[in-house]
Chain A
Amino acid sequence: MWNTFRIAARNLLRYKRRTLLTVGLIALGTVFVLVFMAVAGSFKNMMIRQMTDSFIGHLQIHRRGYLAAIDNLPLHMNMNAKQMGMVDKALAETPEIESYSPRIKFGAAFSNFEQTTNIRVNGVIPEKEFATCPLLVSRITEGSRDLSALERGKILVPELLARGLGVKPGDTVVLVATNKDGSVNGKTFLVGGVLESATGPGGRDGYIHMEDARELLRMSDSEVSEVAIRIRDFSMLDSLALQLEAKFPSMPNMPGKSMLEVSTWEKLSPFSSIARMIDALALFIRVILVAIVLVSIMNVMVMAVYERIREIGTMAAMGTLPGKILSLFITEGLLIGILGGLAGWLLSGIIVVALRLAQIRFSFGRQENLLLVPSWDLLQWCAIFLVVMVVAVLASLQPAWKASRMEPIDALGHV
C-alpha cells in the first residue's frame, strides 16, 4: 500500500502545475460550499431563533382545524378545559419540553378614544410566555422590559398601532371584542409597552394578561387557542412533534388523526420557505462541487493514463496485476481530492475566522444591527470532505479501470 501511495504521490509531482491547478479548483469549490454553509447556516439559524424565540415558539398545539382558519382567530375552535388538561399532562410527561405557554387569541377593535383600528390579541400568562419566547422582552422598545409590562390591566401594543394611533406607555386604550356567543364587550387597558415588530406574522399582535382576555371574552371555561412550546434540543423538533401528537386521542370520525395537532415552527412561519430555499441553495452548491471534483479529477486522470500508456504497459509486462494498477490510479485521484479538500478546509477556516473578526452586521425585516456569526458544523464539514473523497475515487475509477485492463503488448507499442 505504501509503495502504491509513494508512486502515486510522485506521479502527481511529475506534473506539478496541472496537479496544483486541479487541487486549486477543488479547494475553490470546497471553499464556496463551506463558506456558504457557514454564512447561510448562521443566517438561517439566527432567523429561526428570531422567529421562534420572539413569538412562535418551537412547536405549537392547536385543536385540529384551527390552523386552517387561523386568519379569523375562531374562538369556537379553541381547546376546551378537558383538552387543555390532556395537553398539560402530555407536556408534563415529556422531559424534553423546556417551557410552554397557553394563549387565547382573538381579534378586537383597538381604540385610543379618538381613533379605532383592529388588533390581534394574545392573552398570555406573562411568566410562561416570557419563558417560552425569551426574545419577546427584547422587542419591548418603550415601557418596562419585564413582567410588569404585562401585569393585569396592561397591554403590550404593537409598534405599528402605537405609531398609527399615537399611543405610548401609560396611555389608556380600550379593546372591544366579540365573544364566542356573539355579544360584544369592552375593557380599558393601560399601555404597558410598545412592541417592536418581528419579521413575518405578528406585526399587529398585541399581548394582554390571560385573565384579562377571559374577562373581555366572558369566558367561564379555561379555553385556550394555542399552546406555544419551547424544547430543550432543537434537533429533536420533528421527532418530538410526532411523539407529542401520538399522546392525544384520535378524532372519532378520522381514525389515525389526533384531535389536537402539533405543528413545528416551519408550518407556522412563512420564513420556513426561505429556510428551505437556503437549504436548496446549499444543496445546489454541493452538486456544483461534486461536478467540479468529478470533471477536474476525471480530466486529470484521463490525461495521466493517456500520457503514461507505455509506462502502464511496462508495469503490466513485468507482471503487475490489474488490481495494483487500478489502485495506483485511484490513489492518485484520491490524493488530489484529499489535497483539494484539505486546502479548501484550511481556506474556509481562515475566511470564516476573518468574517467573524470583521463583525459584519445586517438588517433583516425590521430588525437591524444583527451580527453575522458564521459558524462551522464539524459534522457537515467532515461530510463535505467525505463527499470530495468519494467523488475523487469515483472520478478516477473509469480511467484507472481503463489503465488496468490495457493489453501490455498494445500499451508497449503505443507511440
Chain B
Amino acid sequence: MGVVEAKGLVKTYGEGDARVEAIRGVDFAIQEAEFAAFAGPSGSGKTTLLNLVGCLDRPTGGKLFVAGEDVSRLSWRQRARFRGENIGFVFQNFNLIAVLTAFENVEYPLCMVKSVPPERRRQKVLELLEAVGMMEHKDRRPDQLSGGQKQRVAIARALVTEPKLVLADEPTANLDKETSRTIISLMKRLREHTGTAFVFSTHDARLLGEVDKIFTLEDGKLNGGINSQGGGHVEHL
C-alpha cells in the first residue's frame, strides 16, 4: 500500500441548492519517497484535496488511506494526533511561530506535539538545521530571516518528526526564482535522504518540472497526468 491511497474520494460543502462538489470521486496513490503535485487552475480543488490528504478536513465520501490508516474514520482529536505522528506541513506563508527562534520553531513539534527528551530533541533539530543550511541563523526569529530562510526553517520543522508524508501548499509562491530553485532542490535532496513522500499543491512550473507525478485537477476531478520535465512519469488517471 502507498503512503496515500484515495478511492472514490468525494468532498462536498453545503446542502441543497448551496451544495458545492469540491472533489468528485477521485482515485490516486502516492508511494513512499515520491515527489507528487496536485496541479490545476484556481478553484479546481487542489487545496481541498491537499487538506483531505493532510487530515485537516474529512472526506464526504470514498476512502482515504494515509500511512495505511483509514483517516476518513478518525475523530477530530485522533486526526490531530495522527497529523502529529505522520504528516509534516510546509505553508505558502511559512507560518513560523513569530516568538520562537529558528531553532525553537524546528523544535516545536518535538516538544509540543511529541514528547522527545531534550538531548535527543536538540540533536535532531541541529541535524535538520544543518541539512537545510540554517545553522548559522538558528538563533534568529522569523522577522530576522528572509523568505527563503523562513521556508528552509519550515521544511526542517516539517521533517523533524520524521513523517511519512510532507504536504506543501504553494511552497514557492512567495519566493523569488533563485530561492525557489534552491528550496526545490533542498526538498528533493531531503526526500532522497529521509524517504519521506512530498506532495505539493502548486501552479509553479519550476516545481511541476521537478516532481515524479502530477495530478491535474479540473472542477474537482482528476483529468489526467502531464509529463514532468524533471524526469517524472506520466500518471494515467
Contact = CB atoms under 8 A, between A and B. Distances in A.
A13 B108 CA distance: 19
B57 interface: yes
Interface stretch (B1-9, B16-24, B97-105, B132-140): B97-105
Given A317-B89, A319-B83, A7 B100 contact: yes
Interface in A27-74: none
Contacts of B157: 318
A112 interface: no
B97 A311 contact: yes
Given A315-B112, A409-B57, A321 B97 contact: no
A172 interface: no
Contacts of B51: 409
A154 B81 CA distance: 91
Contact of B109 (A310, A318, A409): A318
Interface string A13-35: 11000000000000000000000
Interface string B56-86: 1100000000000000000001001111110
A300 to B, nearest CB: 16
B185 interface: no
Nearest to A14: B99
Contact of A319 (B81, B91, B95, B98): B81
Interface string A87-117: 0000000000000000000000000000000
Interface in B89-122: 89, 91, 93, 95, 97-100, 108-109, 111-113
Contacts, number: 67
Interface string A314-343: 111111111010000000000000000000
A56 to B, nearest CB: 62
B56 A13 contact: no
B91 A314 contact: yes
A355 interface: no
Contacts of B83: 317-319
B97 A315 contact: yes
Nearest to B94: A314
Nearest to A409: B56
A316 B95 contact: no
A374 interface: no
Nearest to A323: B77
A318 B110 CA distance: 10
A311 B80 contact: no
Nearest to B83: A319
Contacts of B100: 7, 10
A158 interface: no
Contacts of B80: 316, 319-322
A3 B97 contact: no
B99 A320 contact: no
Interface string A206-218: 0000000000000
A293 B93 CA distance: 36
Interface size grouping (class) on chain A? 20 to 34
Interface in B166-208: none
A408 B97 CA distance: 15
A310 B97 CA distance: 10
Nearest to B57: A409
Given A320-B80, A322-B77, A412 B91 contact: yes
Nearest to B167: A317
B137 to A, nearest CB: 18
B220 interface: no
Interface in A260-306: none
A78 to B, nearest CB: 77
Contacts of B113: 318-321
A315 B91 CA distance: 12
A112 to B, nearest CB: 86
B51 to A, nearest CB: 6
A199 interface: no
B58 to A, nearest CB: 10
A161 B117 CA distance: 85
B45 interface: no
Given A319-B83, A320-B84, A322-B80, A3 B111 contact: yes
A11 B141 CA distance: 13
Given A317-B56, A408-B56, A7 B99 contact: yes
Contacts of A11: 99
Contact of A10 (B56, B87, B99): B99
Contacts of A412: 56, 91, 95
B161 to A, nearest CB: 8
B97 A14 contact: no
B40 interface: no
Nearest to B97: A311
B81 A321 contact: yes
A319 B85 contact: yes
Nearest to B93: A310
A320 B56 contact: no
A314 B93 CA distance: 11
A13 B97 CA distance: 14
Which 8 A-B pairs have CB atoms at the shortest separation, nearest pair first? A319-B84, A10-B99, A319-B83, A314-B95, A319-B113, A3-B111, A409-B56, A408-B56
Given A4-B112, A13-B99, A318-B112, 7 more contacts: A3-B111, A310-B93, A317-B54, A318-B89, A319-B80, A319-B85, A408-B56
Interface of B: 51, 54, 56-57, 77, 80-85, 87, 89, 91, 93, 95, 97-100, 108-109, 111-113, 157
Interface of A: 3-4, 7, 10-11, 13-14, 310-311, 313-322, 324, 408-409, 412
8 contacts: A7-B112, A313-B95, A314-B97, A318-B109, A319-B82, A320-B113, A321-B81, A408-B56
